[in-house]
Structure 1
Amino acid sequence: MTLALADRLRHVEGSPTLALAAKAKALAKAGKPVLDFTAGEPDFPTPAHVKQAGIQAIEANHTRYTPVAGILELRKAIANNLAHRLGLKYADAEVMVSCGAKQALYNALQVLCDPEDEVIILTPYWVSYDPLVRLASATPVFVETKEADGFQPDPAAVKRAITSKTKAIILNSPSNPTGAVIEESRLKELAAVVKGARSDDSLLIISDEIYDQIVFPPARVRSIVQVDPTLIDRTILVNGVSKSYSMTGWRIGYAAGPKNVIDAMINLQSHSTSNPASISQYAALQALTGDQQDVQRMVAEFQRRRDRLVNGLNQLKPLRCTMPGGAFYAWCNVSGLGQSADATAAQWLEDALVATVPGEGFGAPGYIRLSFATSLEQIEEALTRLGQWMRTRKPAGAVRSVERG
């Protein structure tokens, strides 16, 4: 017997990135020499001093419930970190800790959105934005960014998408999947659009900044609240320790924003997960307040990998990649192959044993995402295999080419 499910789940499917990662792992477990480029997490170990803080938390019996919003020491550390890195001032009560940045996004959308509300999402987008908006009973409205423009948001297009129903705009810089870092000039224009859209402050910004420490010169990441501090009272800033500190499994994210919104998010969390794991909170505290050299080393290594992967893919015509300014993804235009990205990704996995994520799940058919959170040796081998595939491939499933414009 098939039981009836809630109507709101009709348009919500599992994460395609996690599904493809699981498929790659299954093939590897079966003995296939799969090269996995699906990962949305660093391949480095959590820094030793951070792991030690977790061990010490266990030994000190910090294993009970904590406040739902997180231990005060961590909330203070987050506020201090935002003040030190970004020059933004948040009170402890304007910060909450969550079970990863994804939960902070979920909490924010749940407490902000009503049925009939709209949320603007820039495409290509992280795969979870669409379902997170739908789970909040709101409607996603997509605004395209273009390869020819470096996947920068077009403020005029955003302005055209705003209606009386628009509740929020989601920004993600650096972007997953494109790696684009929103330029300061664009942020200023977007700030003006938000402020000019209505006579009140009812149009909000959700700024997902989870990759903001993984940035490659000359790119320079800025938060929209840094660019226009008057937006601090209508922006929910979301971040965490997962990406920058290689702590994806520890599940610690956070949100900072207006106190009434943060209070509502805390209330919601009290009825879902309660507090984030106590041990993870103490490890995150050490990550934010301790030595930062591991972060710098990881970013430098990511840059070396980025350069090799992107340059190598661009040599495999007609593949085409822009150079990402941040995060750890190469966003590859494969439409010149004359088939869908789904078909290409399937062939890469079947024929070359290279696992990637097609762009359909990111709202951008014709592209494939490859994570360079893997070794240079794996990158070299993948480029060799893909080069061989290009020479012997069998086209299937035609799709029009995605133009640069």
Structure 2
Amino acid sequence: MMSSDEDFSLVTPESELQKIRNEISKCQRTYDTILSDQKMLADGRDNNLHFAKEFDQRCTNMKAALKAEQQKQEQILEMEQRKVAALLDDQQSLRTQIQRAQEDIQQLEETNQRLRQQSDVSTAVPERKVIFKGDTSDAGDTSGCFDINPKVVYPMEGGTALITFEEEAVAQNILKHKDHDVVLEGGVTLSVQALPVHLMMPSYVELDTQVCPHRILVSNLPKMDSEERLLDKLELHFSKKKNGGGEVEETDMLSDSGNVVITFVDNNIAKGLTDKQDHEVEAERGKRHKVKVTPFLNGKIADLQTRETVCRRSVLLTGIPSIMDQESLQDQLEIHFQKTCNGGGEVDDIIYNPLGQTTVAEFDGDSGATE
């Protein structure tokens, strides 16, 4: 049999059982809480994994977008760089054009200055008396043009002759037959060949003119006994400072116009005299005569164009031997080609150059030259 103490230890009071039940409930609740927390953590983990996957996808998409944007920006940058390079090229081109324009403006200003000088000269031209002889022509634009009578020098070889006929048809007939037998005095026959005369004539001439700083042109001159006395009077007058003159280097008479060119030693004399224009100089018997002083122009050929021409009234004869003196043979040739029976006609001029000699013939505007 057991003792009473042992019976007591085997018997659990109701309060203890309740405590145990409470502890079990408490543990159950703790367990449920842990399970709930575990489930919550698992859900949080799943959500975080989902968010991480979405983030990775967004990062991938953003990287692709950034790469595409970078490529686009690089393309834009390259295009802008090309535009900048093109603008720099345009800027350099514009600078070049501006420089050329400035050079052109400078040239235009220099040209305008020369034109102003020429315009000033055109208002002060030498005086020359003219009369109307009844010839008229159609009006036209003659600005910047003037008539010239060209003189062309034609070198002749030895054993040749030049004949100019009064009629063009005669010269063309001689050229048409080409070979001619010229019967000289004494029955000697000369075989010559007729060839056309080719010349190089000026077709366009451009002159660049400038006012000479130390020369003047004096016109409306008084009549005097001699040319030397006139030149002395002019030199004496224009060498005096009280008349606006200075030391005279040279005086020249222009035979074609009858005017006088006076050259001064200093360059500052001519301008003052041409500005005044009218000057009174002493003439014969102490009389005073008013002369006109205008600028003297220096000119040089700026552009010359030529064209080949044929003298329609002239013929070149070749193959002429020296069988008699020059004058006699020239007369015999003229006699032969004057006769109509030989196909000739009236001779305007003739020149014969024997073998071994050199000479030149001068052609002017009346020689019947044509292109």
So what's the TM-score if we normalise by structure 2? 0.17
Compare CA radii of gyration and give the structure with the larger one.
2
So what's the TM-score if we normalise by structure 1? 0.16
Q: Which has the higher strand share?
A: 2
